[in-house]
Amino acid sequence: MKSNIIIPKKIKVGFNPRTDTYTGMLGYVIYHDGKIWRKEPSWEKWRTKYMDPDEFEEKKKNQYDGRMKQQTEYFNSIKDDANSDYLKSYVKLGLEGYLKKFVAESYEKFNPQLGNVSKDKGIIPVEYPNEPLEGFVLNRKAGGYSTGWNHRQTYCRVYDPRGFEFEITIPNLLYILENANSTVGKGLEGKFIYGWEGKDLVLVPENAPEYKDMIRFTELQDKKVSKKDLIPGKIYITDQNTMVVYLENDYSYGYNGLRSTTKQLWFGYISTYSEDKQITTYPIKSIKECTNEIDEEYAEYMEILYKNAYHTPTKIAEYTYEPVTAQYVTSRRYFYNTDYYILENGKYKKRYLIKNRGDYALSRKRHNIDYDECEFLPLNKLIATTPFYKREITTIKK
């Protein structure tokens, strides 16, 4: 198991009634990251919401009365003019029998369609401090089927001693069994705590060898380093617990030689795949901690940096930014997926010219949006950036 797992201080559980659980409640657990509840929108859609009993009864009665009135009117409309066998079978039931069949046998047995709500107070979400706890029990397999497009991954349901069940992945189950014993009738031995690996919930044994590293990784997320405090040659730790050495603050260049609008923070690191020295950029928010250590190979990293084409291009293109003044193009294909740039507030912004209308060129930021979402740019603000594009300009009629 990776040590890059968040162990939050606070969790919240929403519930859905389920007959296939030991407690009758299936839980969906989310956590607070210090600012917001993560995955709360999907959690809200999934959980059953509590409704006050008086409000529930009022809505149930209104719906019951409405259904009774609707079906009574329909029965009266067909009882004297039943022209098919199935309509005649309804008439034979009589009004009382028809209503029992298509509404409910009685008001008490009427099941209102009020959405995912319940008048049971046990359905109200509960917040807990996320602390190691004993008493978890492996319950049963869930999912693991495919019906056409509807595929449900295999999970294992686990009983939480606070009175609900939740689901974990099979890799998480195997990790638990590597670090804890499961006794029939007694459950898992030892204490466990909730963690999150990205979006996925993970039940972590307290005695797992990575547990302390997970705690440290969680604490790391609350730290931050100021850009002005960065010192070239010093080693820093990122939000993914990666050690990097700070090199310098400088511009980056794209494959076409265009320079970034702002300077980037350049770092060196050792690749986990090839063990080679690599160069990359990070935003300052990704840098969490300074180790106060100097990398002895800082000079070698700087040499690699200045050989990197995205930091120091061997040849920077000299563009003349020729305005496009044509009224229409001869063929849409000439400009499909062709890079153009528009000058806004002194900065060049990338667009993709695909069509035009009158004195305006149709452009879009992405390739997969509808025609109506595209924006029209004045042609005198649209600029070509390379000789290749200038040759394409010759295909435009004046």
Say what the pLDDT of residue 154 is.
84
What distance in Å separates the CA atoms of residue 389 and residue 324, rounded to the nearest whole number? 11
Share above pLDDT 90 across residues of the chain, in percent, rounded to a whole number: 55
> 227-305 — its CATH code?
2.30.30
Report the range of poorest mean pLDDT among 152-161, 378-387, 388-397. Answer: 388-397
For residue 324, pLDDT over 60 is answered with: no
* Residue-averaged pLDDT of the chain: 79
For residue 346, pLDDT over 90 is answered with: no
Cβ-based burial of 320 (10 A; exposed 0-12, middle 13-18, buried ≥19): exposed
Element (H, E) at 258: none
C-alpha 25: how far from chain center: 26
What distance in Å separates the CA atoms of residue 130 and residue 10, rounded to the nearest whole number? 5
Position 342 confidence tier, pLDDT thresholds 50, 70, 90? very low
Mention every residue, 6+ apart, whose C-beta is less than 8 A from residue 353. 335, 338, 340, 361, 362, 363, 382
Position 145 confidence tier, pLDDT thresholds 50, 70, 90? low
The domains of the chain are located at 10-48+120-212, 53-102, 227-305, 322-397
Say what the pLDDT of residue 371 is.
35
Residue predicted with more confidence, 384 or 183: 183
SS3 call for 13? strand
For residue 212, pLDDT over 80 is answered with: yes
Model pLDDT for residues 77-116, shown as the tens digit of each residue: 988 888 888 888 999 999 999 999 999 999 999 989 888 8
- Give the length of the chain: 398
Instruction: Give strand pairing partners of 277.
Output: 270
Determine the average pLDDT of the residues in 52-62. 93
Position 332 confidence tier, pLDDT thresholds 50, 70, 90? very low
Mention every residue, 6+ apart, whose C-beta is less than 8 A from residue 262. 251
For residue 323, pLDDT over 80 is answered with: no
For residue 215, pLDDT over 90 is answered with: yes
